[in-house]
Amino acid sequence: MNPFTPELIAAFPDDVTACYDKLFWCTVQIGVEVEYFFIFATSFIYTRQWFVAVLVGVDIQAAVLIRAGFLNHF
């Protein structure tokens, strides 16, 4: 239910405008912070995928070398 009735708006136009203005900028700020969170989360996941892919690649290469007999002297 809308608390801003036409009578209230007519009686306090500046206060209602200030309230809507603060609400608008608060919504914008929350939206920006959520966007930054998703950018951070996406970049973290992306870099972690590359890190895991590198580790798996190194592990696979080491396994191939061990099976081929190149690393048995360690």
Tell me the pLDDT tens digit for each residue of 1-52: 466 677 777 787 787 777 777 877 777 787 778 888 888 888 877 777 777 7
More confident call, 67 vs 19: 19
pTM for this model (two decimals): 0.41
Contact 66, 72 (CB under 8 A): yes
Query: How many other CB atoms sit within 10 Å of the CB of residue 19?
Result: 13
Q: What is the mean pLDDT of residues 69-74?
A: 60
In the chain, how many H helices and how many E strands? Answer: 2, 0
Residue 74 pLDDT? 54
Rounded to the nearest 10°, the torsion over CA 15, 21, 23, 28 is -170
Residue 66 pLDDT? 67
